Amino acid sequence: MNVAVETLDRVRKKVEVTIPEEKVTELRETIYGELKRQAKIKGFRPGKVPRSIITTYYKDYIDDELKKRMVQDTMQDALIEAKVDPVTEPAVDFIEEDGRSGYTLECEVMPEIELPSYTGIEVEVEPINVSDEDVDKRIDGLQHMHAEMVPRVGDAKAQTGDFVVIKYQGYMNGKPVKGVGTDAYPLELGATTLMPEFENALIGLGIGEEREVEITFPDDYPDKSIATKTIQFKVEIKEIREKRLPEINDEFAKDLSFENIASLREGMTEEIRKEKETGRKRTVAQSIMETLIKGVDIPVPKRLLEKRVSMMIGDTMARFKADRMTEEEESNLEGNLRNDFTPRAEERIKSEMILAKIAEKEGIKVDDEDISERMKRMAEDSRRSYTEVEKFYQEYNLMDSLRNGIAEEKTIDFLREKAVIKEKA
């Protein structure tokens, strides 16, 4: 096997692989032997079909299978010999010349980049302060979380703050809209979970009472299948519950495993402080990466970018109810998502390249202990056994992805430690 490498540009290399004729003959004979044993052609007993008949009858299959096996048997060794590490599946083109057999691989690779200065980057942040108002809001949230839902009975009417269970169906031109309706939808009135016009129509209704409401959905409504459309809804209240808030006192604090209201406030203060510290870490990391990306010229491999964007679009489209969208609406949504995701995916890929280069230069590595500790944490968070988590990552070939993710985190931690953090006055 002869391997030659040509650099096409900073992110593409062409690898030409020429395979000796004896290797090609060996592969062809293997294919022929398999066909001879398996071929079923009328007028011949299994295993007794003449070679000339097999090669004529299965010519296209033999040619295609030969090309497939040439690549399968040699590509990995060829890439190792060429010292080329593709970031996407190489594009294969076969050599069609008399006396020469083989193929070329167009490989996308990570570009060589010259890192800007990455230590001592200045980042300005907000000071971390926890006010009494912050604590009050947190305790107010806990109070609502632990509210008692008491059923309203008799002639009670729904009002803001109540929890209701409703039955509704949407109609267009007098016909039910598929997927826009349910027999039991829970809703807190006043929480603006649904369109305000919809919620307002429920105020004053009693159990078993119905009302019709017409709503025109805006252009930017998340569910693109009904955005810009006018839908008539028939709504019925099936259940009304009043929210009764517990009194905020020492007993309330004890129910939350605190000694008293003072210790509850102390606990909430510390919790909020940790959250703000975590938010600051994210802000610092984002600012550092923005500075580094601006400071270096990084070309992004085209197919790698397209692959990332397609994955992001696929994940998002799966969350939409595609069965309620026309082909035109689905196409428009996909186009909008592509425009939105492309710059984000490009920035993410550039960040990965920079972090990988810094990790290499600084000797930042991920060892088996790092992997083990991360899996233990994931097992605890998901309430699964360590063995289950490990098996999942191995079965779905996610170990490299996990290792790369940990390496990125360690590199970002390094950059944060070396940054100059200044609090705003």
- End position of a domain, from candidates 79, 108, 137: 108
- End position of a domain, from candidates 211, 244, 277: 244
* 206 DSSP β-pair partners: 157
Q: What tokens were used for 167?
A: 């039955």
Same domain? 80 vs 10: yes
- Quote the CA–CA distance of 365 and 359 in Å, as a whole number: 7
42: left (phi over 0), alpha (psi -120 to 50) or beta: beta
pLDDT of 222: 75
In a domain, 127, yes or no: no
Beta strand segments in 245-312, E: none
Residue at token pair 């510390």: 270
| Neighbouring C-beta atoms of residue 56, cutoff 10 Å | 9
- End position of a domain, from candidates 244, 263, 295: 244
In a domain, 205, yes or no: yes
Residue at token pair 């040619």: 63
In a domain, 172, yes or no: yes
In a domain, 335, yes or no: no
In a domain, 301, yes or no: no
Residues of the chain with pLDDT under 70: 321-325
pLDDT of 39: 78
pLDDT of 99: 82
CA of residue 62 relative to chain centroid, distance: 40
Query: 9-25 b/e with 16+ CB inside 10 Å = b?
Result: eebbbbbbbbbeeeeee
In a domain, 290, yes or no: no
Residue at token pair 């008539």: 232
pTM, two decimal places: 0.76
Number of DSSP helices (H) and strands (E) in the chain, helices first = 12, 11
Q: For the chain, how many structural domains are there in total?
A: 2
| Neighbouring C-beta atoms of residue 236, cutoff 10 Å | 17
SS3 231: strand
In a domain, 249, yes or no: no
- Quote the CA–CA distance of 425 and 420 in Å, as a whole number: 15
- Quote the CA–CA distance of 250 and 266 in Å, as a whole number: 13
Domain containing 167 equals 148-244
Phi, psi of 106 (to 5 degrees): -95, 110
pLDDT of 325: 67
Per the CB < 8 A criterion, the answer to whether 248 and 260 are in contact is no
Q: What tokens were used for 313?
A: 């679009």
In a domain, 21, yes or no: yes
CATH of the domain at 45: 3.30.70.1050
